[in-house]
Amino acid sequence: MLTAEFLDAIGGLTSLIKIYATKLPPVVHLNVVPTGVKPSLEAIDNYETIVSRARSQSAGTPYKGLNESFVSSLEAFEIGNLLGAVQPLLSVLDHVERMHAEKEIEVRRVDEQRLREYRAALRKILPGNRPELDTPIQSTP
């Protein structure tokens, strides 16, 4: 499994999470998902397919140690635990960056950009993300 293929899997999962996140109301109690707001069966099947494919392709590669995080994300996604699905993927991205820094894997420049994009997309989903707070405050003279 190449880094690009591994990132394809993360990108697919990120996309499914983003779609699901748009269906949730703006304020959701972290422990309770409103009835009827769980991911669709089709979305869950797609998520499971991506996780299964990544797990089978990562056997015997440096990525095999990340399978548990993928499964944790899948389990959380299945029950509608959005935060529980996002956190393991962010951990996977951290781990990939460490593997790259330690020269265990090769990450091309285009793949580095994808890592940044997926991290940004996943962080946007987390509570407390308020883009309006990211803009610098301009003081008046």
**pLDDT above 70: percentage of residues in the chain:** 82
**Domain that includes residue 13, residue range:** 3-26+38-127
> Is residue 67 assigned to a domain?
yes
Is there a domain that residue 134 lies in? no
For the whole model, what pTM was predicted? 0.81
- pLDDT value for 93: 94
In a domain? residue 95: yes
Domain contains 98: yes
Which residue, 21, 60, 62, 19, is CA-closest to 42? Answer: 19
* Chain segment 78-130, per-residue pLDDT in tens: 998 888 999 999 999 999 999 999 999 988 999 999 999 999 999 998 876 64
Instruction: Identify the pLDDT of residue 36.
Output: 55
Residue 136 lies in a domain: no
Domains held by the chain: number:
1
